[in-house]
Amino acid sequence: MSAHRTRWLLEKELRELAASRSYWLLLLVVGALVGHQFMTATGIYAEASGAGGGPAALSQGLSPLEGIIVPTLGAYDIAATLLFPFVVIRLIANEKQTGALALTLQSPLPLAATMTAKLVALLAAWFVAGLAGAAALLAWRGAGGHLYAPETMTVVLGHLLRGLLTIGVSAAAAAFATSAASAAIVALTVTLGTWALDYVAAARGGVIASVAAYTPSAALRVFEHGELRVATVLILLTLGLGGVVAATAWLREGEPASHRARDVGMVLLSVVILCVLFAGLHDSRDVSEDRRNSFPRADEAALRAIGAPLHVTVYLAAEDPRLVDLERGVLAKLRRTMKTVDVTYAASGRSGLFERPDQHYGEIWYQLGDRREMTRSTTDEIVLETIYRLAGRNAPSAENETPYRGYPLAARMPITPWLFFLAWPLCVILTWWAARRPRVSRRRSE
């Protein structure tokens, strides 16, 4: 396809977005959400830093990642869940309802090119909505706040992939549903289903927990924790693009329904196979400035030198808070560091309240080769000592690592309400008015 036709398709989809009231409403609401989140986050951060003469918290606990970046950009998770699907659905369902899809199918341009243009336009629209978050982070930097580029960009990447996933799910819903209203219900049902899966996984664990690790909320938490995980990135890409491809296959209404159903089935099967393969990848990188996802560097080098696989048997129920601490702390770090870590969850109950003492409840067994040892602790230091004893190694000498010093900032930002509740809505309204002006009047004015 020529560059001229590609540009024409993209301009057409951008004009469709400009004519969509739901998109301009999205921009208005996103600005208000980001502004509210940013004002709340900076207020709490300033109080923790000793603003107003109060006692300052420990500086090591004042991290802009969890204090400013995550809560401020968390507004986009709300937008991607409740607002952005309607923008995507409108862009696709409108062509079905008006008959424009039939004309598109009769044109010499392939439907895949049209859907690709829609995908690019929607990603551009999501990027434009992200300017409100960029303005908040720039305001933070302008007030003297600190931002660490790797962890900031990782959170931004997480929200970009979250938007792509919303595009995929909403596009598939719009393609399969008979109307825009039905498609909206389907998209919200999928969202509620992922929330339910998260809830069940927290209580059940096991295979369900492994699947729930890639729901939108759970996947986004990985990025928000300062970890760049290859499996999470690839699975979100696969799900988002797979939804668009499945929508493209079903929208070829000139073909028999059986052929389209076969193609959709092949797409879904390919998505499942790729997701299973990607889930087996354990490569990740800790991009947080305070290294919250990593052991000390000396311990990481010592653990990587252990060639034998580590087997862990956990006698803790899924609802036990100690299991949450173990999973998010020690086990997550061990999986990132050691070559092979196998975990078996041996507790049979959900809460552990009615487990008998002879069922070993609360015990955590570590095995390297033929040597096993039990501990009930979930702290890094005790677990590392246990692993070193099993490996017949001495604990490495502690290196003089520079401790994370934190970044307290007690400054108030009175400009924030003016920025997000006056300047942002005014810019959106003026841009909407300029985009809605008829081209004829523009030419006459020129």
Cβ contact 248:112 at 8 Å: yes
The predicted structure's pLDDT at residue 112? 85
CA distance 141 to 153: 15
What is the secondary structure of 370-436 as a DSSP string? Answer: TEEEEE---SHHHHHHHHHHHHT-PPPPPP-PPPP---------THHHHIIIIIHHHHHHHHHHHHH
pLDDT for 440 equals 41
For 168-198, what is each residue's pLDDT tens digit?
Answer: 999 999 999 888 888 999 998 998 888 888 8
What are the φ/ψ torsions at residue 375 (nearest 5 degrees)? -145, 155
Strand 341-345 with 310-314, pairing: parallel
Residue 381 has pLDDT above 70, yes or no: yes
If you ran DSSP here, which 8-state letter would residue 53 be given? Answer: G
Mean pLDDT of 155-159: 97
**Which residue type sits at 386?**
T
420 in Cβ contact with 139 (< 8 Å): no
pLDDT digits (tens, 9 = 90+) for 260-318: 999 999 999 999 999 999 988 888 899 999 888 888 888 888 898 888 899 999 988 87
DSSP state of 178: S
353-367 pLDDT, tens digit per residue, is 555 555 678 889 999
Mean pLDDT for the chain? 86
